[in-house]
Amino acid sequence: PDRYQHSQGVGRLPQPILLWNRKASHTLRKGSEDKTPKKRFSEVQEERREQAQRTVLIHCPHKVSEKKFLKYLSQHGAINNHFFYESLGLFAVVEFARKESVGSLQSGTLMPHEAAIPFRSRFLSLKLKNAGGQPSEPPSVRASQQLPPSSQRLLERLCRAESVGDQLDTLLQELQLTEENVRLRYLTCSLIEDVAAAYFPDCTVRPFGSSVNTFGKLGCDLDMFLDLDEIGKRSTPKTVGNFLLEFQVKNVPSERIATQKILSVIGECLDHFGPGCVGVQKILNARCPLVRFSHQASGFQCDLTANNRIALKSSELLYLYGALDSRVRALVFSVRCWARAHSLTSSIPGAWITNFSLTMMVIFFLQRRSPPILPTLESLKALASAEDKCVIEGNNCTFVRDLNKIQPSRNTEPLELLLKEFFEYFGNFAFNKNSINIRQGREQNKPDSSPLHIQNPFETSLNISRNVSQSQLQKFVDLARESAWLLQQDGEGGPAPAPRQPWGLAALLLPSVRDSRSLSKKQNRRPASERVKSLLESIKEHNPDSPTATDGK
Ligand code: CTP
Ligand code: MG
């Protein structure tokens, strides 16, 4: 499949490095946006990466005593932070204060006796020497949650909110990546980097996509890329006299073939030697070749690519947009969740709209407001200084990276209105003629006949939604119109919905907007609510513990 066409004390979490952990309250939004300096994407990436290098992953027996476990590990140095989580067993993520502690821990770690491929990774197993005699303390570890809440819990929370705007904020709070989950994502990349380093010492494995762009939802896949560029930059050429030394390397016919060969060996390596890496698939003929695997211990579905700096740059751009105004992420989460609930998106590649495309649509919509909520990519480019200059494979990817240089928007429209207007805008968009273009921030004539055209912000000749079929687009348009209509009805008063009865965003996430519309057309508004209420009941009855309908991508 062509994927791209398609120091704190022990146990206490430090102040989050990520700015998206801040509570996005829309009372704060009105004129008093948080003024704390916002970190650059590259700073966040570097800090997280360094933190992950001081961290180990330990599979633990269930009856482990947290206190004794920490005491045992702190022989190797102070522990900054730790947490436990469940995923096919109990695991602990332990961050030491210093990197040397990891080496010390590894030198005190046994290689198992059974026939095994010896690999001294940072993924370890804790064994109890005397399993019978140990637990004087009851096992008391609190496991942190790495998956999204069930759809029932989510709907209940939404129904208890005070307004539609509050519902959007609630959804964001419930679904966004937690501090622990972000740590686990960076740690997983760091562990994969250790395996890749067997072939390419000094390589870097970086997360990108929704794990880092602040639009990721608990349970989303982990996109990572193998960065070999740094290796080339390591030496400082000495040009004494008339000589210059160059490394002898093997030449291959093209960059693409080089990428395929590198990913092929790394794929083999992960398959044969990567602790906890299972189901390794090499998908090398895709436009962007990748190795897909599942990292069992973290529970992440991973997509490893190479030579993919542009995608990292687009993650940085989305991070920037997400940080500029607190309404952006709330709106994107709701739209993504809405699309997933109605099967407009899927975890299987196909003719569906992707989350990446939906995010672009939200950004574009916010650029079109008056006054605009988000600046165009062209204007971000105009604000760039010399050090922001970035050209990747001939594509100009320059934009200002210091968030503090961008003026906040004067637009104060509430989330509730924006959600309704989003549906209305795209319910009536001239998709047959126009292309969505966040660089210019205005519609442009479509350069080809693909049903949905969203220009790739950096590789401007590419359409990021080339895979989308006419029928999928039509489904999106129909659902958008119906959702706008439903929100409009809500806004027009009538008796306030009874508590716990799905209303506002909750009603939009229920399976059958269409049915409720045709019913309510005939019988006004109450029966529609009755209908969603009974749908909610049926979800509860049939599947009390079902994962949220918005699972996966
Ligand atoms: N990407 C791209 N062009 C595409 C698809 C993806 O440039 N047509 C890049 C984007 O930077 C995107 C990243 O690859 O963020 C990862 O793609 P994907 O996993 O499909 O999207 P995510 O943004 O990670 O969203 P999701 O939560 O659905 O994984
Ligand atoms: Mg992804």
Q: Is the minimum distance from the CB of 553 to ligand 1 under 6 angstroms?
A: yes
Cβ of 315 below 6 Å from ligand 1: yes
Asked whether the predicted pLDDT for residue 280 surpasses 90, the reply is yes
Among 356, 377, 461, name the best residue to mutate to test ligand 1's pocket (greatest count of ligand atoms within 8 A of Cβ): 356
From the CA of 216, the nearest ligand is: 1
**Alpha carbon nearest to ligand 1 atom 16, residue:** 209
Distance of CA 13 to the CA centre of its chain: 21
Residues 140, 66: contact at Cβ < 8 Å?
A: yes
Range with lowest mean pLDDT among 235-244, 316-325, 356-365, 518-527: 518-527
The reply to whether ligand 1 has any atom less than 6 angstroms from the CB of 204 is no
Q: From the CB of 333, is ligand 1 less than 6 Å away? A: no
CA of 223 to the centre of ligand 2 (A): 5
Residue from 175, 223, 340 whose mutation best tests the ligand 1 pocket (most atoms within 8 A of CB): 223
Alpha carbon of 314 to ligand 1 centroid (Å): 9
- As residues whose CB is below 5 A from the ion ligand 2, the structure lists 209-210, 221, 223
User: Rounded mean pLDDT of the chain?
Assistant: 86
The per-residue pLDDT for 137 is: 55
**What percent of the chain stands above pLDDT 70?**
82
**395 Cβ below 6 A of ligand 1:** no
Ligand 1 proximity of 216 Cβ (cutoff 6 Å): yes
Q: How far is the CA of 401 from the centre of ligand 2 (A)?
A: 22
CA 488 to chain centre: 31
Q: Which residues pair with 57 in a beta bridge?
A: 93, 123
Percent helix / strand / coil, the chain, rounded to 5: 40, 15, 45
411 or 511: which leads in pLDDT? 411
Give the distance (Å) from ligand 1 centre to CA of residue 54.
28
Q: Distance, CA 3 to ligand 2 centroid (Å)?
A: 11
Give the model confidence (pLDDT) of 1-55 as tens digits.
344 443 333 333 333 333 333 334 343 444 344 556 689 999 999 999 999 999 9
Rounded Cα distance between 292 and 278, Å, is: 9
> Does residue 386 carry a pLDDT above 80?
yes
Distance between Cα 209 and ligand 1 center (Å): 5
Beta partners for residue 290, in sequence order = 283, 305
Q: Is the CB of 223 under 6 A from ligand 1?
A: yes
91 lines ligand 1 (CB under 6 A): no
Q: Cβ(210) to ligand 1 under 6 A?
A: yes
The Å distance, Cα 224 to ligand 2 centre, comes to 9
CA 352–ligand 1 middle distance (angstroms): 13
Backbone CA torsion sign across 94, 96, 102, 106: negative
Nearest CA to ligand 1 atom 8: 464
Report how far apart, in Å, the C-alpha atoms of 458 and of each of 221, 425, 451, 522 are.
Answer: 23, 25, 21, 48
Of 139-143, 246-250, 511-515, least confident by mean pLDDT is: 511-515
pLDDT at 133: 54
Q: Whose CA is nearest to atom 9 of ligand 1?
A: 311
For residue 283, the CA-to-ligand 1 centroid distance in Å is 16
Average confidence (pLDDT) over 262-268: 97
Of 1-5, 121-125, 439-443, the range with the lowest mean pLDDT is 1-5
Quick check: CB of 52 below 6 Å from ligand 1? no
Our answer on whether the CB atom of 311 is closer than 6 Å to any ligand 1 atom is yes
Residue with tokens 């059974």: 114
User: Between 165 and 243, whose confidence is greater?
Assistant: 165
Under 8 Å between Cβ of 64 and 126: yes
| Residue 162 or residue 138, greater confidence | 162
pLDDT at 496: 58
Whole-angstrom Cα distance, residue 532 to residue 529?
5
Q: Is the CB of 354 under 6 A from ligand 1?
A: yes
**Structure confidence at residue 245 (pLDDT):** 86
Q: Please tell me the number of the ligand nearest to residue 305's CA.
A: 1
Find the 354 Cα to ligand 1 centroid distance in Å.
Answer: 8
Q: How many whole angstroms separate alpha carbon 325 and alpha carbon 329? A: 8
Q: Is the C-beta atom of 316 inside 6 A of ligand 1?
A: no
Is the Cβ atom of 355 under 6 angstroms away from ligand 1?
yes
Phi, psi for 60 (deg, rounded to 5): -120, 150
Q: Which two tokens stand for residue 469?
A: 């079929």
Residue nearest to atom 11 of ligand 1 (CA): 311
**0.95 surpassed by pTM:** no
Residue 465, ligand 1, Cβ within 6 A:
no
Q: Atom 17 in ligand 1: which residue has the minimum CA distance?
A: 209
**Structure token pair of residue 549:** 């309908």
The response to whether residue 353 sits with its C-beta less than 6 Å from ligand 1 reads no
Q: With H, G, I as helix, E, B as strand and everything else as coil, classify residue 292.
A: strand
Dist CA 287 CA 143 (whole Å): 40
The secondary structure of residue 98, as a DSSP letter, is S
The verdict on the CB of residue 357 being under 6 Å from ligand 1 is: no
pLDDT tens, 518-530? 444 444 444 445 5
What's residue 519's pLDDT? 43
The mean-pLDDT minimum among 130-134, 178-182, 489-493 falls in: 130-134
pLDDT at residue 543, as a whole number = 43
